[in-house]
Amino acid sequence: MAATATALDPRSGAALEKLGRWLDNRTVLSVLFMFPAASILLVFLTYPLALGVWMGFTDVKIGRPGIFIGLENYISLFNDGVFLLSVFNTIVYTVVATIFKFGLGLWLALLLNHTIPFKAYVRAFVLLPYIIPTVLSAIAFWWIYDAQFSIISWGLSQFGLIDRYIDFLGVPWNARWSVIAANVWRGIPFVAICLLAGLQTISPSLYEAAALDGANSWQRFRHVTVPMLMPILAVVLTFSVLFTFTDFQLIYAITRGGPLNATHLMATLAFQRAIPGGQLGEGAAIATAMIPFLVGATIFSYYGLQRRKWQQGSQDD
């Protein structure tokens, strides 16, 4: 196949042919084909990324160009209690939500991997929370968490478990748990469906062999399922951590960072300071402060991918 490709000498015969032949020049065609995607990504992704980092070092405000002020934004942020609280919230939110998402998601995937009736329909319904616009389902959660008319409070009080309605969104830790629950609810389907795909590639004969060797169900899970699932788990984990860490819409819809900034994440704080607050430079600095965490997650993903290829024994294509 390489021979065919190299046989397309840019000049041979091209002079005689019309446009179609000229386009067969791989270099010309490559440039032409890459142009739409590359130009959009360079203008609206790469450039803003660099601009954002730069803006973090300036005091630009809405309607006023900024000047370079070095690390002043970062210094003031490190003495800013609200920012430090938002970092704390973001880490708590990401770690707790991820643990629950993966615990419950793996469990759901294992359940779905059984032979069950109407499996395709069950799987389709399971994925619903993932495809419905997050903000719209977040509004439903907002209503479910309402202080006066919460259906959860009503249900619990009917069973006599509580005598006063729970103030889900009015107390800092309640609010944190509430938004984490909503995030877990939204994240489980993605994790479960991806892990289910991973589970389905594990050959049943491995389990049978393990069972013949006397492994009980926990040992089969620990020594067959987990290692076989590890590569895909690493990738899904990276995506999940990345998108939970930079989450914005769920918080903005349910609490807008309240009460007392207890649920402000770095993304929501950056938005609040930059757009309604007008402090573009400071907002950009907060957003830039997320980058080191994201780079860490990406490197993790890279090694996850490498490991998968190595495990399958396939050549890198």
Partner 1 sequence: MTDAAKDAAMSPAAAISDSTGMGYLQTLPRRLVTVYLPLSIFLFVLLFPFYWMGVTTFKPNDELYNFSNNNPFWVRNPTLANIEKLLFQTDYPEWLLNTMVIAITATFLSIFASVLAAYAITRLRFRGAPTVGLLIFLAYLVPPSILFIPLATIVYGVGIYDTNWALILTYPTFLIPFCTWLLMGYFKSIPYELEECALIDGATRIQILLKITLPLAIPGLISAFIFAFTLSWNEFIYALAFISSSEQKTVPVGVLTQLVEGDVYHWGSLMAGALLGSLPVAIFYSFFVEHYVASLTGAVKE
Task: For the segment 20-59, give every residue that binds partner 1 (CB under 8 A).
Answer: 20-21, 23-24, 26-27, 29-30, 32-38, 40-41, 43-45, 47-49, 51-52, 55
Candidates 78, 88, 125, 303; binder of partner 1 (CB under 8 A) is 125
Measured distance CA(248)–CA(256) in Å, rounded: 9
Give the long-range contacts of residues 52-57, CB within 8 A, separation 24 or more.
52/284, 52/287, 52/288, 53/284, 53/288, 53/291, 55/280, 55/281, 55/284, 55/285, 56/281, 56/284, 56/285, 56/287, 56/288, 57/281, 57/285
Site residues (CB under 8 A) for partner 1, limited to 241-300 = 242-243, 246-249, 252-253, 266-267, 270-271, 274-275, 280, 283-284, 287-288, 290-291, 294, 297-298
The b-or-e profile of 123-157 (16+ CB within 10 A means b, else e) is eeebeebbeeebeebbeebbebbeeeebebbeeee
Closer residue to partner 1, CB minimum distance, 257 or 283: 283
Interface with partner 1 includes 229 (CB under 8 A)? no
Interface with partner 1 includes 107 (CB under 8 A)? yes
Measured distance CA(312)–CA(314) in Å, rounded: 5
Closer residue to partner 1, CB minimum distance, 12 or 115: 115
Candidates 71, 84, 99, 132; binder of partner 1 (CB under 8 A) is 132
Interface with partner 1 includes 116 (CB under 8 A)? yes
Closer residue to partner 1, CB minimum distance, 81 or 114: 114
Interface with partner 1 includes 303 (CB under 8 A)? no
Which residues 6+ apart lie within 8 Å of 225 measured at CB? Answer: 110, 199, 202
Give, for 33, the enclosing helix (H) or strand (E): helix 26-41
- We find the least distance from the C-beta atom of residue 287 to partner 1, in angstroms, to be 4
- We find the least distance from the C-beta atom of residue 20 to partner 1, in angstroms, to be 4
Size of the site for partner 1 (CB under 8 A): 113
Interface with partner 1 includes 111 (CB under 8 A)? yes
